[in-house]
Structure 1
Amino acid sequence: MLMTRGALTDLIPHAGTMCLLDGVLSWDRNRIRCIARSHRDPDNPLRHAGRLAALCGVEYASQAMAVHGGLTGGGTRPAAGYLASLRDLACRVERLDDLVDDLIIEAENLTGEGSRVIYAFSVTAAGRELLNGRAAVVIDAGIADLGAA
C-alpha cells in the first residue's frame, strides 16, 4: 500500500470515522486506486437504519478524487471541492454493508481546467462492479484550508 489512512487525512477534510478510505493502492497523474473497509463498520457515519446504501459509494469515490487532487497538487490539501453533478450513475447492488470483501475505489481524471474537474469513477469488490459514473467537481479556490477558522 502506497499510503495509509493516517496519511490520507492530511489530504482531505474528513477526519475520524468520516474518512472512509483505508489507503491508496496506486496513483499517477490521471488515476487513483484506493481501498476501503469501512463499509463493514457498524458505526459507519453514512449508515441509515443499520444499512449502507450503494449510493454512499459516491462519497467513497469523492474522497478518492480529493486524495488524487492532493497528491497531484504536490501532497498538500487541495482547496475545497464541491460535487456539482453526477452523470451516468449506475448502482448494481442495493447496499454495501453486506459485502465481505474490501471495496476498491478507482477514479480517473477525464478533464480538468482551472476550478472544474471531471472524473470517471467505479467501486468494485472482489472484481464485481458495484457502481460507476462520472462526477463534475468545482474547486473553490477561495478556501485553501478547511481546518482554519
Structure 2
Amino acid sequence: MEVSEYSPQRHSLLDAIHRFNAATTIMDETIMVPSMLQDIAPAKEEPEEPIQSKDVLGQNNNLYDSYLLLKSLRNDMKWGIHHENGKREGHCPDKEATEEETGDLVDQFQHHLKGLLSVLTKLTKKANILTNCYKKEVEIGNSNAGPFPSIHYY
C-alpha cells in the first residue's frame, strides 16, 4: 500500500503541520532499516513547479540524509528548537510593538504563513516519496529472496 499524495483540501497551518507530522510518523514507522536508504536511488518526482537544480530538501539527493533531516525537522516542530547557551537572536519579549510595527507584523505574519504552508507541503510530499521508495525496495528485496520457499514455524 502506497502513502497517498497530498490533496489540498484545506490550507491552514495546523492542517499542514498535522499532515507533515503524520507523513513523517508513517515514514519513521515504515523504515525499519534506515541505512538501506543509502543504497536506494531516489524516485523521480513529478514537479508541480518548474524544475530546479535543488532537491526539495536542499542540494542532496541522498534518501538517508533526507530521512534524517525530516526526522530532525519533525522533532524540532514537536519539541522546539534547542538553541545553544539558551539565547534566541533578535527576540526581546519585553519590547512593545508600536502601531507602525504592528502593521508590519501582520504583513510579516502573512508572508511567513504562506512560506510555512509551502515548505510543509513540500516536506510532506518528500516524506511520502521517501516512504514509498523504501517500501518498493523492500518489496523488490523480498521478491528476489531466491528459489527457496519461505520457512514457516508452527
| Common fold by TM > 0.5 | no
Normalising by structure 2, what TM-score? 0.25
Larger Rg: 2
